[in-house]
Structure 1
Amino acid sequence: MVEAFDKKISNPGKFKNEVAKNDPYFKALITKNEKIPTDVYDSSNQGSNIVAAEIADTIKDVNSKGRKCVLCLTVGSAPAEVYTGLIRMHLQENLSFKDVIVFGVMEFFPINANAIQSFSRNINEKFIRHIDLPKEQLFLLNGEQSQEGIHRYCQEIEEKITSFGGIDYQLLGIGSTGHIGFNEPGSALNSLTRLVSLDDTTRTSLGSFFRGKDNVPAKAMTLGIKTILSAKKIRLLAWGEAKSSVIASAVENKFSEELPASFLQQHKDARIVLDMAAGAELTRIKTPWLIDAVEWNDRLIRKAVVWLCQKLEKPILKLTDRDYSDNGMGDLITEKGGSYSINIKVFNDLQHTITGWPGGKPNSDDSKRPERREPFPKRVIIFSPHPDDDVISMGGTMLRLVDHGHDVHVAYQVSGNIAVSDSDALRYLEFVRDLQIQMGCSAESIAKIDHLKEKTDNFIKNKRNDATDLYEIRKIKSLIRVGEARDACRYANVKSANVHFLNLPFYETGEVEKNPIGKTDIKIISDLIEKIKPHQIYAAGDLSDPHGTHRVCLDAIFEAIDELKHESWMKDCWVWLYRGAWHEWDIHQVEMAVPISPDELMRKRTAIFKHQSQKDGAMFLGSDNREFWQRAEERNRGTAKIYDQLGMAEYEAIEAFVRYEFL
């Protein structure tokens, strides 16, 4: 289900010659801009399974020649499903790792091997402890080396790799700066294993794992570019739209020290493995008509026309036959009968996405509207991964739905407690204590709060960056976010009985690293849907990290819908997907665009402000220093501006949605 949706969003068309896609000439043609062989799969799971099978085959092949297979492995979300697949093969298919050597590609410095952010701990917990690899054959980089001995230690790693005959299979991820391992921009082609300084962008992106950028180590150890390129096989994995731009640059541009991943162009057996979202910026997916003849469908025509408008800075209705012909779209003119008819159709299609009635407009012709007029009012569930994603991402639409009289429910999927600062937790605890004293509560009750405050205070004062919060602290932080979410819903006039806190169990680890979704998570969601029997469901359609909270929450909703889709009342339910604070739907993807007036935009901002713990330097802003309300407004205004530039009416802001069709 998720795979099909990824494909719908990322790949709206196909080549006319795709029936011959196994033909070497055709494959060479469509990948002519790609300087590294690249495989794009429908999902991260599909790509990971292919890589896991390849690793298993490599192990067996090398072992059959009488020597140990040398793997060099990365960590993080990119290889997670690969390791799951290898563990399954070990347990169910007798894949043995007794004759395997494992090296790690990178590690923070300095860091304790047991720290939750340590790559050593990560790969041990996610992979090594589940297989039969002998301890003496595991060589992970040691972040506890002394500063004085680090140079010699790195030399010894190089010597060990050489002594085992070199790396047979190198598994990599890619960072936002294009780093592989921790070879940041500027790393030389001949660099070896060494201590490096982390790029500021990298440290910012890692801030969420260390509870703030300031806690991220400034240095790290990494295998060098030359060391990595010495491997016999290299596979780089990337999942999600957040990696699409850097992947396209590494694959299609000239190799450069400023983009270390591009050095894989120099390797004879390197391959990039992507899901559809990560491959979205590759020429064969983004603008396939520039490569070869394509099968023009409505979705691909819209994508191509919007691209042409933005390239030429022209509105749709001003495009000419010459514009199409000069920009690789002459066959579209020939096939569809000239620019005039194409322009009119695409203009009308986009215009019909715009509606001020996201719940449907009663007593009106709905044949050209994105939503049905009946039933009215509708029962609506807005699923919000964290307790502020609803108002950040679709606050204007949420206010409009309530104003129009729909029965709006808001369901917060996780507590979001790790995003609350320790100082906020202490402040609220002190408030409770002071309130008890002012209200004349019993000495016993006040003593309990005093004990909890002392325990909390002591823990926070001595808290390590890798520590998991005490259960009591997590509860306090959860309640802070509950209170803020209730306040925002109250401001939006959502009934208090319609505000649901699901607290999905997968999230409640107390750490940045979460568990996979399970049957309990899915049942909680399906029970709520079955209870309300909604006519509309709104959900966060973020396709970034497949193991990130937003994507996991979306997968849980999709799984619940899949279980319920055969119920008769589900045939009347439409599912609309919004985007979070980091990305927006491309205009050609949008199926419902809700204009937001200046007054409504201010109301939306006020609703976001109710989430006070996420203002003024929230913990997980990422590499974008703008506050969430600023991102939301600039994104909504940007969408409206694009509609305006394409020739539509000029609006203050627009919130965009894509429909998920599950039947």
Structure 2
Amino acid sequence: MKTTLEQKAKDISYKPVGQFEETRFEKIHNVIFSDSNVASIQVAHEIADLIRSKQEADEQCVLGLSTGSSPLRVYEELVRLHKEEGLTFSNVVTFNLDEYLPMERENRQSYWFFMHENLFNHIDIPKENINIPDGTVEGDEVIEYCLSYEKKIKKHGGLDFQLLGIGRTGHIGFNEPGSHYNSGTRVITLDHITRVDAGPTFFGIDNVPRKAITMGIATVRSAKRIVLLAWGQNKANIIKKTVEGDISSTVPATYLQEHENCTFVLDTGAGSELTRNKTPWLVDESLDWTEELTAKAVVWLCTLTGKSILSLTDKDYNDNGMSGLLALQDSYDLNIRMFNRLQHTITGWPGGKPNADDTKRPERAEPAQKRVIIFSPHPDDDVISMGGTLDRLIEQGHEVHVAYQTSGNIAVSDKEALKFAEISKRIYPSDEAQEIVDYIKAKKESSYDSKQVLRLKGDIRRGESYAAVRYLGLPDENVHFLDLPFYETGRIKKNNLSEADIKIMVDIIEKIQPHQIYAAGDLADPHGTHKVCLDAAFAAIDRLKSKPFMDDCWVWLYRGAWHEWDTNEIEMAVPMSPGQVLRKRNAIFAHQSQKDGVMFQGDDSREFWMRAEERNKETADRYNALGLADYAAMEAFVRYNF
């Protein structure tokens, strides 16, 4: 008999944010954590418990494993359990989901390389127990190879546990849209979106293989236990489709709805579009209507009905699951309160307006001239995400400092670096310049950069950063390059945040003693740098919060290039005139190495200046649609209360 979601919720040992509640919308058991690291550790411990229980029964433990960024922390914890707590993998047999085709094992983009670098090289699993699809199989051999892979899984009694991630197309493994629920291990042609998402790892989509070997849907579904991991807001839409949508080959992950022992482990970003989180009043009318929830509901209702806030009627609220809200106050007073809430977020004075009543403004008036630090994860996030606000702060006389947290060196293409190296060689001939030119010309796409090349690429980003903020009038002495050590690996995969990173952040905050700190609150960054930079900022602020100067310091979070704050979340909205939009564009243009074919675009093919302008215009349009003033563009911020 099929296990109900409620029974699964009782059985699961995870400690999520809140308790899982079955709703009429959800068809797959899921738990949501506020921290993906905590979630990953709990998944790792479930795997460890399974391994130990199999050892006690003198049985093999057969694991299905996945690659990508989602399971990395799980693998780190399994390695720690092995090294520090004696967890042995001597009875473990593993089968990986997939591999690119063609793909040599030694290639850094291969899943063979990934698994050994992140797990197998650090544990005591017998080499003969490791099974990863072979990306070198050719021609007619492929079909027979796939059948033999399938037979080998069955020979070991099937998968006891399958770890999954999920792609934006809803693919699990490389089972792309159109995959049949009875499919087995086979060769598949990769969806264009999948190849776009893999592009950064391969230094461009043109280098991403077009085919792969993958376990099939039926193979995955035969596992006794399935756990799917999804982190970040960029996974939110596909998670909603998978958990709440109908079973369809267009979203292959929906086939998991029919599995009796499957759990989706999510963070708050990935679970944000689920009905119980996005519109909880549709699930439970007996809600605690906090001010934040009320604002969220009213903005949603305006979007649904196409009305401004002050035009909403009792019928609009009652017809859309919000009768409980009207029981607390009538729609007229509610509408005015919510309108004023949003109106008071708008300010042309992001540093506070001197000699003005600040009771209804997002920022305080005093001190009139503030010391400000803007933390920029990459050397262009400052102007891309808050260039208009930066311009205003400088223009209005504040002491503004921009601190670039990382060098951004890996985002400079070899073509761009070669151009600068050859110019340098012509201006000042040297052995070092010639070595760099020779190295880049001989370099293979899958090779790491030399230290000299990385330094050159970092210098290119520095030069562009100076050019951008000089254009806005910021003096050079107020520009700081922190080069946080976690980033300086020369590869896509970064190190974990360290004490050295946090100390650098602490030192600059303590040196400047700011009244305002701006930091990137964008957790949907496709390669994770924004999140680590934000964690570094939070850790530094936490250490310094007892200092007297921090009593007068406010922290504002902006979003990066991928997402904007929901309108109801915004606590400060800085409008821009058409002229200021143009100034922001020109500042972004100073980052020439990130224009025309930028390497780390994420899932959006537009250039950064285009997405920034369109996002700022959309924010202003949303405000206007709610009945507020009509501006050309707006930048948005949320205050972090430490």
TM-score by length of 2: 0.95
Distance, in Å, in 2 between the alignment partners of 1:68 and 1:271 is 23
Cα distance in 1 between the residues matched to 2:592 and 2:339: 41
- Aligned to 1:107, the other structure's residue is in SS state strand
For residues 325 and 21 of structure 2, the distance between their equivalents in structure 1, rounded to whole angstroms, comes to: 20
From 375, 384, 400, the equivalent of 2:376 is: 384
Cα-to-partner distance string for 1:66-96 (whole Å, 9 max, x where unaligned) = 3100001111211111112222222232221
Instruction: Please give the alpha-carbon distance, in whole angstroms, between the structure 2 residues aligned to 1:28 and 1:48.
Output: 18
2:238 aligned to 242, 246, 252, which one? 246
2:189 is aligned to 197
Counterpart for residue 492 of structure 1: 472
Q: Does 1:37 align with 2:29?
A: yes
User: What are the ranges of 5 or more consecutive residues in structure 2 without an aligned counterpart?
Assistant: 1-13
User: 1:166 aligns to what SS in structure 2?
Assistant: coil
Residues 266-296 of structure 1 deviation map (CA, whole Å, 9 limit, x = unaligned):
1111110001111000000000010112100
Instruction: Give the distance between the partners of 1:394 and 1:134, measured in 2 at CA.
Output: 52
Q: Aligned equivalents of 1:34 and 1:46: distance in 2?
A: 24
The within-5 A match list for 1:522-533 is 522-533=502-513
Alignment partner, residue 180 of structure 1: 172
User: Does residue 147 of the first structure (1) align with residue 139 of the second (2)?
Assistant: yes
Specify which of 575, 578, 582 is matched with residue 598 of structure 1.
578
Instruction: Please say if 1:371 is aligned against 2:363.
Output: yes
Within the candidate set 333, 336, 351, 1:344 is matched to: 336
Structure 1 runs (4+) greater than 6 angstroms displaced: none
- Distance in 1 (CA, whole Å) between partners of 2:33 and 2:230 is 11
The 2-side partners of 1:628 and 1:216 are apart by: 23
8 Å Cα contact 2:421/2:437 also seen in 1: no
Q: Any idea what SS the aligned residue of 1:386 has?
A: coil
Correspondence for 1:306: 299
Match of 2:205 in 1: 213
Partner of 2:3: none
Deviation at 1:546, TM superposition (A): 8.8
Cα drift, residue 156 of structure 1: 1.3
Residue in structure 2 matched with residue 316 of structure 1 by the alignment: 309
Query: What's 2:391 paired with?
Result: 399
Q: Is the 8 A contact 1:426 1:453 kept in 2?
A: no
Cα drift, residue 583 of structure 1 = 0.5
Tell me if 1:169 matches 2:153. Answer: no
| Corresponding residue number in structure 1 for 2:494 | 514
**Residue number in structure 2 paired with 1:231:** 223
In the TM superposition, residue 29 of structure 1 has moved relative to its aligned partner by 5.6
* RMSD over aligned Cα atoms: 1.5
Distance 2:101 2:501 in 1: 37
Task: Please give the secondary structure, in 2, of the residue aligned with 1:196.
Answer: strand
Amino acid at match of 1:385: P
2:152 to 157, 160, 171: 160
Which consecutive residues of structure 1, in runs of 5 or more, have no partner in the other structure? 1-21, 437-445
Given that residues 170 and 231 in structure 1 are in contact (C-alpha distance below 8 angstroms), is that contact kept between their aligned partners in structure 2?
yes
Q: Distance in 1 between matches of 2:444 and 2:148?
A: 31
1:535 is aligned to 2:515: yes
Taking a change above 3 Å as real, the CA distance of residues 177 and 239 of structure 1, as seen in their structure-2 partners, is same
Partner of 1:470: 450
- Higher mean displacement: 150-159 or 82-91: 82-91
SS in 1 for 2:239: helix
Query: Does structure 2 conserve the Cα–Cα contact (< 8 Å) formed by 1:30 and 1:291?
Result: no
SS at 2:53's partner residue?
Answer: helix
Distance 1:491 1:633 in 2: 18
Distance 1:526 1:384, change over 3 A: same
Q: Distance in 2 between matches of 1:53 and 1:143?
A: 31
Distance (whole Å) between structure 2 residues aligned to residue 315 and residue 96 of structure 1: 61
Which position in structure 1 is the counterpart of 2:638? 658
Match of 1:75 in 2: 67
State the Cα distance separating 1:459 from its structure 2 match.
2.8
Q: Quote the Cα distance in structure 2 between the aligned partners of 1:533 and 1:31.
A: 49
Give, in whole Å, the separation in 2 of the partners of 1:562 and 1:476. 35
Q: Secondary structure at 1:461's aligned position in 2?
A: helix
Q: How many angstroms apart in 2 are the aligned matches of 1:30 and 1:235?
A: 18
- Equivalent-residue separation in structure 1 for 2:602 and 2:280 (angstroms): 32
Percent identity, please: 55
- C-alpha distance in 1, partners of 2:142/2:497? 40
Q: Residue 616 of structure 1 corresponds to which residue in structure 2?
A: 596
> Aligned letter for 1:603?
R
1:5 maps to: none
SS of the equivalent of 2:201 reads: helix
Moved more, 316-325 or 45-54: 45-54
1:195, distance to aligned residue in structure 2 (A): 1.2
Structure with more relative contact order (C-alpha pairs < 8 Å, separation 6 or more): 1
Moved more, 115-124 or 313-322: 115-124
Task: Look up the match of 1:10.
Answer: none
Post-superposition Cα deviations, 1:301-325, rounded to whole Å, max 9, x if no partner, equal 0000000000000000000111100
CA contact (8 A) 2:184 2:218 kept: yes
From 82, 92, 99, the equivalent of 1:90 is 82
Paired letter, 1:325: N
Distance 2:546 2:133 in 1: 51
The reply on whether 1:570 has 2:550 as its aligned counterpart is yes
Moved more, 157-166 or 455-464: 455-464
Q: Which moved more, 1:612-621 or 1:26-35?
A: 26-35
Residue 391 of structure 2 aligns with an amino acid whose one-letter code is: L
Q: Where does residue 290 of structure 1 map in the other structure?
A: 282
Q: CA deviation at 1:460?
A: 2.8
Measured in 2, the distance between the counterparts of 1:268 and 1:33 equals 18
Q: Secondary structure at the match of 1:410?
A: strand
Deviation, structure 1 residue 326: 0.4
Distance 1:650 1:523, change over 3 A: same
Output the amino acid matched with 1:304: A
CA contact (8 A) 1:539 1:576 kept: yes
Instruction: Determine if contact 1:234/1:271 at 8 Å carries over to the other structure.
Output: yes
> Which among 416, 422, 428 is matched to residue 414 of structure 2?
422
1:458 Cα deviation after fit: 3.3
Aligned ranges 1:269-280 → 2 under 5 Å: 269-280=261-272
Aligned amino acid, residue 460 of structure 1: I
Supply the distance in 1 between the matched residues of 2:44 and 2:56 (Cα, whole angstroms): 18
Query: Offset of 1:612 from its aligned partner?
Result: 0.9
Residues 33-74 of structure 1 show CA distances to partners (whole Å, capped at 9, x for unaligned) of: 111101111110121122112111211223333310000111
Residue 152 of structure 1: SS of its match in structure 2?
helix
Q: Specify the alignment match of 1:17 in structure 2.
A: none
SS in 1 for 2:327: helix
Aligned to 1:255: 247
**Does structure 2 conserve the Cα–Cα contact (< 8 Å) formed by 1:44 and 1:239?**
yes
- How far did residue 618 of structure 1 move? 1.6
Q: Secondary structure at the match of 2:615?
A: helix
Alignment of 1:121-132 (within 5 A): 121-132=113-124
Q: How far has the Cα of 1:119 moved from its partner?
A: 1.4
1:350-365 residue pairs with structure 2 within 5 A? 350-365=342-357
Residue number among 326, 330, 336 corresponding to 2:319 in the alignment: 326
Alpha-carbon distance between aligned partners in 1 of 2:305 and 2:405, rounded to the nearest angstrom = 43
Does the 8 Å contact 1:484/1:611 carry over to 2? Answer: yes
Is the 8 Å Cα contact of residues 197 and 219 (structure 1) preserved in structure 2? Answer: yes
Q: Which residue of 2 aligns with 1:19?
A: none
In 2, Cα distance between equivalents of 1:127 and 1:566: 40
Contact 1:29–1:291 (Cα < 8 Å) also in 2? no
Aligned length: 625
Distance 2:610 2:626 in 1: 24
Partner of 1:603: helix, strand, or coil? helix
Secondary structure at the aligned position of 1:208 is classed as coil
The alignment partner of 1:294 has SS state of coil
Counterpart CA distance in 2 for 1:518 and 1:304 is 40
| 2:524 and 2:562 in contact (8 A); partners too | no
Cα deviation code 1:474-512 (max 9, x no counterpart): 111111111010011111111110000111111111111
For 1:624, what is the secondary structure of its paired residue?
coil
